[in-house]
Structure 1
Amino acid sequence: MTTQTLIIAGQHLELHPSGAVFWKEESALLISDLHLGKITHFRKFGSPVPQKAIDQNFEVLEQNLNYFMPEKVCFLGDLFHSSMNSEWHRFESWVKKSQVEFILVAGNHDIISPLKYEALGIDLVPELTWGPFLLTHYPEERQGYFNLSGHIHPAVRLRGHGRQSLRLPCFFKNKHQLILPAFGTFTGSHILEKCEGDEVYAIAEASVIKI
């Protein structure tokens, strides 16, 4: 496995192939766009999405906790895709056995009652200013802060000879912000065009590669 470490405002951010970011100084794991419940929602209406995709989301979450041993986990929005379904109960069980502090920066899909998160001890906030960073769901620019966000599900298209092309999820960095890729499976992605000064870190299997 290959990760990449960025130093922003004197802080070390490790980009992981799962799409997570580990903030070393705060022992905080940042995850965006997990979209739990989406697979169950689509299966309910007949989409042939394999059940094992649900297992994969929780397996990768657990792998990140075991690898980084964070003190805090901050979800940058769209933790749960829709109204409650059976995946919520699995998420409840996972949170209760995890010995970390959880924070959710609310996204547009986070429509479940705040009381449900409160009962699990999860802090639900519209945004979070933390050290030099502004943590939001939607990418944003705000003077005095570097923005960490999600929502867009960024991806990059790599082109080879002839008509060959490859679409990969990526971390997308510009002067003001770092946009995280979607952490969850079955979430889709959106191609972003790299401009001068932008940095793109593509995820290729178990590696994060600067393009």
Structure 2
Amino acid sequence: MTQNIHIKHQEFVLHPLGGLFWAEKSMLLISDVHLGKVSHFRKFGAAVPRKAIHKNFVLLDKIVADFQPFQICFLGDLFHSSLNKEWELFENWVAKTPAEIILVSGNHDIIDPEKYRQLKIEILPELIIDDFLLTHHPEERKDFFTFCGHIHPAVKLHGFGRQKLRLPCFFKSKSQMILPAFGEFTGTHALNPSKDDEVYAIVEDTVVKV
């Protein structure tokens, strides 16, 4: 189940896979997919199942089918490191995806930009649309609301009997929202919200405000 929110009179839909849909612009925002990470770890002997390579593409297909966006903007760390076998899978995914694709580059995006240009993917250091700033690293800039990633945010919840849960989340402050990592093989970083922050945790197939 998704969660709808309004920011600066615009509607956004938080999806339990970790993406965010900007309704007025028909733009899907996704951060920190880290494609190629499974192949990277397998190359160095990690016992990661080969089928995990395809999982991110299955999830990308699902969220694109749910929203059918005009544009997809990746907020950095689309690929984990240098070229590997997953680039060909990515080329195939781009070829069958009708949406225009933009990459706001992150610290892991070290692949030659020409490779993206060959796929007609625009690469930018940041993107400003109306009163919104789209970046990879969190940044609070005057007069803008920022959408970003990088942190892989999570929240810790405590229940009865010393029960603890650590859940990926959308982490919203007054002027910024940090998207959860979309990638399946990424890890999380727990954040401590203040009283003015809003946290939307991903619980199985649902986005829940906590």
TM-score range, shorter chain: over 0.9
Deviation at 1:163, TM superposition (A): 2.2
In the TM superposition, 1:118-137 aligns within 5 A as 118-137=117-136
Q: Which residue of 1 aligns with 2:142?
A: 143
Correspondence 1:194 to 2:188: no
Correspondence 1:45 to 2:28: no
In the TM superposition, 1:169-208 aligns within 5 A as 169-208=168-207
Report % sequence identity. Answer: 60
Correspondence 1:65 to 2:53: no
Q: Which residue of 2 aligns with 1:6?
A: 5
Q: Which residue of 2 aligns with 1:98?
A: 97
Deviations 1:91-150 (A, max 9, x none): 011101111100000000000001001000000000000122100000001111100000
Matched length = 210
Distance 2:165 2:197 in 1: 20
SS in 2 for 1:208: strand
What is the letter of the counterpart of residue 65 of structure 1?
A: V
Q: Which residue of 2 aligns with 1:87?
A: 86
Deviation at 1:162, TM superposition (A): 2.9
What is the letter of the counterpart of residue 37 of structure 1?
A: G
Distance 1:130 1:36 in 2: 26
RMSD: 0.7
SS in 1 for 2:195: coil
Distance 1:55 1:114 in 2: 23
Stretches (4+) displaced over 4 A: none
Structure 2 unaligned blocks of 5 or more: none
What is the letter of the counterpart of residue 200 of structure 1?
A: V
Distance 1:145 1:52 in 2: 41
Distance 1:32 1:101 in 2: 16
Distance 2:204 2:53 in 1: 19
Deviations 1:150-208 (A, max 9, x none): 00000001111232101100000000100000000110000000101100000011000
Q: Which residue of 2 aligns with 1:167?
A: 166
TM-score with structure 1 setting the length: 0.98
Deviation at 1:6, TM superposition (A): 1.0
Distance 2:201 2:170 in 1: 6
Distance 1:50 1:41 in 2: 12
Distance 1:65 1:189 in 2: 23
SS in 2 for 1:40: helix
Deviation at 1:50, TM superposition (A): 1.5
What is the letter of the counterpart of residue 49 of structure 1?
A: V
What is the letter of the counterpart of residue 63 of structure 1?
A: K
TM-score with structure 2 setting the length: 0.99
